Amino acid sequence: MTPSNPNLETTIDDFAPLAAEQRRQQLSRPSLSYWQDAWIRLRANRRAILSLYIVIALLLFTLLGPLLWRVDPSAQDLDQVSRPPGAERMITLAAPYRSWNGEAVLPTATGLRLAYPASTQSVRLIWDPAPGAAAYRVYRNIVPTLPGESLGLPIAQTLTGTETRYEDRLDLRAETYFYTVVALDETGAELTARQALSVDPVAVITVAEARSRGLQSASGPLKIGDKVRFKLHPLGTDYLGRDMLARLMHGARVSLFIGIVAPLLFVGFGVAYGSMAGFLGGRVDQIMMRFADFVIALPFLLFMILFKIAFGIGPGQSGILPMIVALVMLSWPGTARLVRGQILQVREEGYVNAARLLGARTNYLVMRHMIPNTMGVILVTLTFAVPSAIFTEAFLSFIGMGVAPPTPSWGGMSNEGIKSMLIHPHELLFPAVLISITVLAFNLLGDGLRDALDAKMRSRE
Amino acid sequence: MWRYTLKRLIQGIITVWFIATATFLAMHAVPGDPMSGDRAVSAEIRKNLEAKYGLDKPLSQQYVIYLGNLARGDFGISFTQQNREVNDIIREHFPVSATLGILAIVFASLGGILWGALTALYRNKLPDIVIMFFVILGISVPSFVFAAVGQLALVKLNDLLGFSLLPVAGWGTVSHMLVPSLVLGLGTMAYLTRLMRSSMLEIINSDYLRTARAKGLPATRIFTRHQLRNAILPVVTVLGPSIAGITTGSFVVESVFAIPGLGRYFVQAVQQLDYTVIMGTTVFFGSFLVLMVIIVDLLYGFIDPRVRLA
Amino acid sequence: MNGPPGVQDGFARSAGRQLLLIAVVSVVGIALLMFGLSWLSGGARISKGIDAATGTVTLALADEPPQLDSTRSTDTISGMVLGHVTEGLIRNGDGGKLLPGVAERWEITETGATFWLRPDARWSDGKPVTAHDFVFAWRKTVDPKTASEYATIFFAIRNAEAINKGQMPLTSLGVQALGDHVLRVELIRPIPYFDKLMVFKSFNPIREDFFNATNGRYGADADTLLYNGPFKITRWVHGAHLRMEKNETYWDKARVKVNVLDFPYFSSDPNALINLYKDGKIAVAGLNQENLNEALVKRWQINRFQRGSVAYMEFNHRKGRPTANLHLRKAIQLVVDPDEVVYRVIKLPGNLPGRSLFPVWLDGVEGKFREEYPAKKIVPDPIEARRQLALAKKELGLNKIPPLTMLSDDGALGDKLTEYFQETLRRELGLEIRIDKQIFKQRLAKMTAGDFDVVLAGWNPDYPDPLTFADLFASWNSNNRGRYNNPKLDQLVAVAQNSTDVQTRMDAFGEIQRILIEDPPMVPTYEPGVVFVVDPRLKGVVRRVAGSDPDYTNVSIVEK
């Protein structure tokens, strides 16, 4: 049977169903699920991938760091306070400190002189009595004293004119000090008589202190006069001589924990709340969303502070939990609104209606359309919520309302560091840089995710 | 239009009531005692003090009195400044914060629009790269670091010049305002720059712009009338929340630069557990923000003809 | 972007020009806006730290005075301002001496005191300061309606305590005006330091008609306060600016050598203050440990001052608290090293290692109290401390001391010290310390409720006599928040309170000091001090332990 003109003649056979395999669409490219597609697009975004690596590195730093760098973050070492990275670590061992009764072991001389060799344990000064002195004032300077200029730090004042010695123990370091002793008259006015001396104390610690810190010398057991090397602090130490690296790692646990857990919780709650409102619709939706509007209207930082003090931090607690609770209580409505909007929108989309007409079950609709179409928005919200939570923690710690001491956090460490910004920049620099890197990485990752997951929210690059 | 405004205002009042209630409940859950002083006082004196502030009444009655006073705009008397009303304190300190906030918003929005437009115009060229570097800094560096570094930079500048060009702290003249408001607006400026840039780039590829160019309109007209104007819209939408962020986020800048604003006062009041000041300030700030959001929404209706206020 | 490159560049150039135009317009707009705003806020002038031409000294205040009503003022800042703008019967002179103030001369006995007021003392509105003004102010302070924290300081005056409890009328207070210029005070017990007490701000005069006319706002603003001191407040913008000018009606105005004391900055941020000093905007600034080095390198004139207060670790003695055990307290005392606290943790000169509840500046019989009655120095001894700890465990019947709560507040040194003590007690004694950091008022509330084991506290003296410290741990004192109860100490306090014999009193204080060290209800840690820089052209700044501090009433400007 061969029709002469196929365009004109049709037979009943033409209306017979075709073989099943021919109905299958021919796909020119491999089939990709939504997530595979998103992943490919994310991978193409160099910045986002770099941020992803940074986030992974930060998590490793937080989780594995303390296992590799086994230094106690709360161990204090008052001999190594506020050391920058790479500071001198050699130190001489000395006898334990004994109080001083005015005797001298160094050969006598005149003027202001040392009674004992000067060390960072103490500088013992003796001077000649000045005629007419009712008392003496001792000054210490770190720059050579110039005539007519300030004599430096008034470190002490004797109570009588017969007391002609002073023991300086205040924060001594291995640097040159310029001492001046000035005689005072009865009214406390300075007389012209003054004696001066420059002193270079030797950095020392006692054998017991060295032993308690586990220091070892190259030549067998520790003995007085030996030189030993302090333990390494790669990023220096803080204001109580605690290891910065260990504190940064433990601080990361707090900052990242708050930064990740709080957003997870409030986004989770927001999703549940928003989708419930979206699904139920009608009056319930109205009431639920009105309540969300109320919560959104609360001034965020003011209420963070209010809640923080209302919950209170008990003895020994870190205050992480109250902060997370406060963050969750105040931050969920944003996500709830977003998700509800998304659900309402998707519900009315043509393809959802089509699927429903084709007999798709609710489960299928939720799994195939609702979730993928809202997941993107949720994931993006979550990524952007992390930096803002980290900033909030840092800010609260900065005004002294953050986590309680001695728990380290990056914000709290920056707050302490800012006080000594000029003399010990490393104490501010490291925590602040970590905050910045984290915030930046999550922001860029959020951008990348948004571009990859949500065609409608895509920014053009 | 009027009906819409009225509806928004009524909603606003209910919101303020909610804020007031939440503040009241939070404040009364705070452990501690606003009347404890360094020197212990006798039980009789305590009773007198409690009566003065109405703390001797049951909580429900205190709440009713509190709402009644709020309705009359009376926030009560401060606990630490025993002869000053909270109203006076707000009246004296809020204008300072508002001035700082307005300037910061102006800096942030103008800067954001200008830099954003510039980066979009010179995409992937030197200006874009340089500006985006600063934007990244602005987004990722905490505000307290900016404030401290900003003040330090001022000291160094004055030191270098040999005379005091700009004051390093304090309040009262134009020169006092410049650096703090810049520092305050910096984060928002960075955020707006990014927003402006992406919204500009979106418009560059839009159909109406192509049409405008095809019609042969002059470049300047296309740029200002079509591109810039339309790109600003998304920036305006985020201005409302930004105002909130800036006015309440001024604690740090105010304390670093010794500015007598309400934000710093609030933190001090919290540290001294000054109940009435804390409650008054929170309710005041909350109402202020509610009002701002309403105003921005109404404004948006004027700027964007697509939005109809029904 | 689409389009050929040439077109593209042209567009960008023209758009760039547009942007530049917009930028210029906005800068001009912002400038106008700023000037407008500053004009609205009443624009102030920025003055220099020292202005010799106008006799102006510009300074910073840590905070604004909460109020200047002397019957209710409790803080040091309002105390300082009141010390400049008002004057009591007696004022402070140099080197701890007393000088006549509104009173020309006085006579103090065991049963009372009489003050003869100078006729030329005037209020700033020209009316004379009379004895009635003192009577009114004193009655106001003990009035239970005023609820003054300092009413207790009046309790040696007849009926003051009963009036404060609401049991007697105000008029029964033992103070009378015999005419306009004689003030008669009746005492129920002798107070050997009564003249020194008169310097305290609560004893300053207030004029009744003016007070009533202010309608409850006395001392809230510059115009609701009447001045009789060397200066008067001419401008008080709350939170922003306080300006004092020389008071022309002051009886001893010849001693005032500057015209204006200007306080345009209220800040306690040490960095902000030091930056202002560096910039030449203020004449005096406090230093902290962090900016000490810079001050030295810049060769600034550095001064130091002992505040006169003491900081200590106080134990809770309530039943059931482990710290009620003597041996545990001794163990802690033996590992707390005040030398290390001051020399290695605080690191600021002016602070002294704490040895006793009685600070070094207090006067004894003839010389200083601490020289006549030296406090036994506790040398840190970890071995003995561990022995005491073992004894404590045995007495308490515990294998391990339960975690101890250490209460502290958000003061400047708060975190540093608590963390230091926590680690020290852990390292040396294996004690687990739970830090409970609270804001100041919550700390006080928790202290009063007894919600702590150890608290980092302190005490500021009210008057320059050892008694201001000695009665702190008396069982009846409501400031004894750890509920320490030692009948022997109570008895010694009673001896010191009721005697006028210097030797007897000092012996009692010496004995109290011994008890406090041997049976430690508290462990002294340090005596706080401050370090500050003063512009070399400013002379005569006086710091005082008791009374208004710092005192600028005698400052003068010296050009180099």
What CATH number is associated with residue B116? 1.10.3720.10
Q: How far from the centroid of its chain's Cα atoms is residue C303's Cα? A: 18
Q: What is the mean pLDDT of residues B207-224?
A: 78
- Chain A residues with CB under 8 Å of B267 CB are 305, 399
The answer to whether residue B79 scores a pLDDT higher than 90 is no
Q: How far from the centroid of its chain's Cα atoms is residue C422's Cα? A: 27
Contact A141 C296 (CB under 8 A): yes
Report yes or no: B249 at the A interface, CB cutoff 8 Å: yes
pLDDT of res. C315 = 93
- Residue that has been written with the tokens 């490793």 in this structure: A60
User: How far A196 CA sits from the closest chain B CA (Å)?
Assistant: 32
Of the candidates C82, C84, C53, which has an alpha carbon nearest to the alpha carbon of residue C67?
A: C82
Contact C147 B40 (CB under 8 A): no
Report residue C59 as tokens: 């300074």
Enter the ipTM: 0.82
pTM of the model: 0.85
- Chain B residues with CB under 8 Å of C30 CB are 103, 106-107, 110
Superfamily (CATH) of domain C90-213: Dipeptide-binding Protein; Domain 1 (3.90.76.10)
Of the candidates C320, C273, C313, C309, which has an alpha carbon nearest to the alpha carbon of residue C294?
A: C273
Domain of B156 in residue numbering reads as 104-261
pLDDT of res. C104 = 92
Nearest CB to A460; choose among B23, B29, B198: B198
Contact C419 A419 (CB under 8 A): no
Nearest CB to C439; choose among B84, B174, B271: B271
- Chain C residues with CB under 8 Å of B265 CB are 239
Asked whether C311 and C354 are in contact (CB, 8 A), the reply is: yes
For chain B, how many structural domains are there in total? 1
Domain with CATH 3.10.105.10 in chain C: 311-526
- Chain A residues with CB under 8 Å of C301 CB are 150
- Collapsing DSSP to helix, strand or coil, A195 comes out as strand
Model confidence at B310, in pLDDT bands (50, 70, 90)? very low
Q: Please write the tens of the pLDDT for every residue from C345-389.
A: 888 888 999 999 999 888 888 888 988 999 988 888 889 999 999
User: How far A63 CA sits from the closest chain B CA (Å)?
Assistant: 23
In whole angstroms, what is the distance from residue A126 CA to residue A243 CA? Answer: 38
B306 in a structural domain: no
Q: Fold for C11-83+232-308+530-557, please state it.
A: D-Maltodextrin-Binding Protein; domain 2 (3.40.190)
- Collapsing DSSP to helix, strand or coil, A359 comes out as coil
Report residue C296 as tokens: 């030295």
**How many cross-chain Cβ pairs, A to C, lie less than 8 Å apart?**
108
Contact A152 C296 (CB under 8 A): yes
Q: What is the mean pLDDT of residues B110-125?
A: 85
In whole angstroms, what is the distance from residue C494 CA to residue C510 CA? Answer: 14
Phi-psi category of residue A68: left, alpha or beta, with phi > 0 → left and psi -120 to 50 → alpha: alpha
The residue ranges of chain C whose pLDDT is under 70 are 1-11, 38-46, 412, 414, 560
Nearest CB to C442; choose among B32, B41, B107: B32
Q: How far from the centroid of its chain's Cα atoms is residue A79's Cα? A: 25
pLDDT of res. A454 = 64
Probe site for chain C from B42, B204, B205 (most C CB atoms < 10 A): B42
- pLDDT tens for chain A, 461 residues long, are 444 555 667 777 777 776 666 555 666 667 777 777 778 888 888 888 898 999 999 999 888 888 888 888 888 888 888 888 877 778 888 888 888 888 888 877 788 888 888 888 889 999 888 888 888 999 999 999 888 888 888 888 887 888 888 999 888 888 899 999 999 888 778 888 888 889 999 888 888 788 777 777 766 677 777 788 888 888 888 888 888 899 999 889 888 899 999 999 999 999 889 888 887 778 888 898 888 888 888 888 888 888 877 877 777 778 888 889 889 988 898 888 888 888 888 877 888 888 888 888 877 877 777 777 777 778 888 888 888 888 888 888 877 788 887 888 888 888 888 888 878 888 888 998 999 999 889 888 888 887 777 655 444 43
By C-alpha distance, the chain A residue nearest B22 is A298
Domain with CATH 3.40.190.10 in chain C: 11-83+232-308+530-557
pLDDT of res. B249 = 65
By C-alpha distance, the chain C residue nearest B265 is C239
pLDDT of res. C2 = 42
Q: Please write the tens of the pLDDT for every residue from C88-122.
A: 999 988 777 889 999 999 999 988 999 999 999 99
**Range B126-141 burial, b when 16+ CB lie within 10 A, else e:** eebeebbeebbebbbb
User: How far B180 CA sits from the closest chain A CA (Å)?
Assistant: 17
| Architecture field, domain C311-526 | Roll (3.10)
A 10 A CB-CB count for A311 gives 18
Whether the CA torsion B3, B5, B7, B10 is positive or negative: it is: negative
What is the Cβ-side half-sphere exposure of residue A357, based on CA atoms within 13 angstroms?
Answer: 7
Domain with CATH 3.90.76.10 in chain C: 90-213
pLDDT of res. A405 = 76
User: How far A436 CA sits from the closest chain C CA (Å)?
Assistant: 23
The answer to whether residue B294 scores a pLDDT higher than 60 is yes
User: How far C466 CA sits from the closest chain A CA (Å)?
Assistant: 19
DSSP per residue, C425-479 = HHHHH---EEEEEE-HHHHHHHHHHT--SEEEEEE--SSSSTHHHHGGG-TT-TT
pLDDT of res. A455 = 55
By C-alpha distance, the chain A residue nearest B153 is A422
Contact C296 A143 (CB under 8 A): yes
Cα separation values, A71 from A65, A187, A229, C242, C430, Å:
10, 54, 17, 51, 19
- Chain A residues with CB under 8 Å of C300 CB are 150
Contact C344 A171 (CB under 8 A): yes
- Chain C residues with CB under 8 Å of A81 CB are 344
Nearest CB to C420; choose among A159, A240, A422: A240
User: How far B290 CA sits from the closest chain C CA (Å)?
Assistant: 24
B186 in a structural domain: yes
B48 in a structural domain: no
Report yes or no: B196 at the A interface, CB cutoff 8 Å: no
Contact B32 C446 (CB under 8 A): yes
